[in-house]
């Protein structure tokens, strides 16, 4: 039986080029493709062109717009983890390179790129809480436990969110913590950010993460889904 996978990303109108590239890169393995569309724009026409379902979300103009876009998506996840086996949450600066067999992730509730310890000058140090789970690619299994945790995150956003940097990743750590499995173990290039020698042709997913990474990626090759992205 084919697995039912919903996928969701989030963008505002100014950043939609990245979301367009992501959506065009997706393989034919998703039953629903959602875009949380933040703020104003010709969203219905854009969504119809790409075959995605638009989830409208207003800006809160009293808060930093970049942080709002990054964090407000967390309040929609519980509603989208419905009538499916998995919900895959991805940043809009992600691309799919290969069809992904999600059956191998069946034994745990949630998967992401995680890192609790870092080696600094041969000394092991704990990674700051907001960097332990990368919210750029997170797979949630449809279980009562996952739904309950996402429901709590939604409530905390609606009642407590105060324009915090890294709020999404802090909440993932607080509510999933060490129960979040590392998708990049044992394959460190499953979600490939181009570090350590550039993007690999065998990687299932690419992530052009952070301002530094965008500055060292040839963006023409990123937005051409027939090419492996190249570093400059």
Domain ranges of the chain: 5-187
Query: Which tokens is 168 given?
Result: 């999404």
Find the mean pLDDT for residues 16-34.
97
4 pLDDT more than 90: yes
The C-alpha atoms of residue 160 and residue 181 are separated, in whole angstroms, by 27
Are the beta carbons of 98 and 204 closer than 8 angstroms? yes
Give residue 210's pLDDT. 67
Find the mean pLDDT for residues 87-99.
97
Task: Specify the long-range contacts of residues 111-114, CB closer than 8 Å, at least 24 apart.
Answer: 111/138, 111/139, 111/180, 111/181, 111/182, 111/183, 112/137, 112/138, 112/139, 112/172, 112/180, 112/181, 112/182, 112/183, 113/137, 113/182, 113/183, 113/184, 113/191, 114/180, 114/181, 114/182, 114/184
Taking only the tens place, the pLDDT of each residue in 201-231 is 999 999 998 667 888 999 999 999 999 999 9
| Average pLDDT of the chain, as a whole number | 93
pTM equals: 0.94
1 pLDDT more than 80: no
Q: What percent of the chain has pLDDT over 90?
A: 79
Taking only the tens place, the pLDDT of each residue in 138-189 is 999 999 999 999 999 999 999 999 999 999 999 999 999 878 999 998 888 9
DSSP-based three-state secondary structure for 152: helix
The C-alpha atoms of residue 152 and residue 172 are separated, in whole angstroms, by 11
Q: CATH second-level architecture of 5-187? A: Alpha-Beta Complex (3.90)
Report the range of poorest mean pLDDT among 59-63, 73-77, 124-128, 183-187.
124-128
């Amino acid at each position: 039986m084919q697995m039912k996978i919903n996928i969701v990303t989030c963008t505002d109108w100014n950043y939609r080029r990245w979301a367009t590239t992501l959506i065009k890169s997706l393989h034919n393995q998703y039953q629903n493709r959602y875009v949380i569309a933040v703020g104003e724009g010709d969203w219905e026409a854009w969504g119809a062109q790409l075959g995605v379902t638009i989830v409208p979300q207003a800006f809160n103009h009293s808060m930093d717009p970049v942080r709002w876009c990054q964090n407000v998506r967390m309040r929609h996840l519980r509603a989208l983890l419905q009538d499916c086996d998995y919900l895959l949450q991805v940043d809009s600066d992600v691309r799919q390179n290969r069809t992904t067999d999600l059956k191998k992730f069946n034994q745990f509730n949630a998967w992401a790129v995680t890192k609790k310890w870092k080696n600094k000058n041969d000394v092991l140090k704990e990674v700051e809480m907001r960097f332990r789970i990368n919210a750029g690619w997170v797979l949630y299994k449809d279980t009562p436990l996952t739904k309950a945790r996402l429901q709590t995150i939604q409530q905390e956003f609606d009642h407590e969110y105060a324009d915090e940097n890294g709020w999404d990743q802090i909440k993932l750590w607080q509510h999933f913590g060490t129960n979040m499995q590392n998708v990049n173990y044992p394959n460190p290039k499953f979600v490939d950010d181009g570090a350590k020698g550039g993007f690999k042709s065998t990687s299932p997913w690419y992530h052009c993460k952070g301002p530094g990474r965008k500055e060292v990626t040839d963006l023409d090759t990123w937005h051409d889904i027939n090419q492996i992205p190249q570093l400059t």
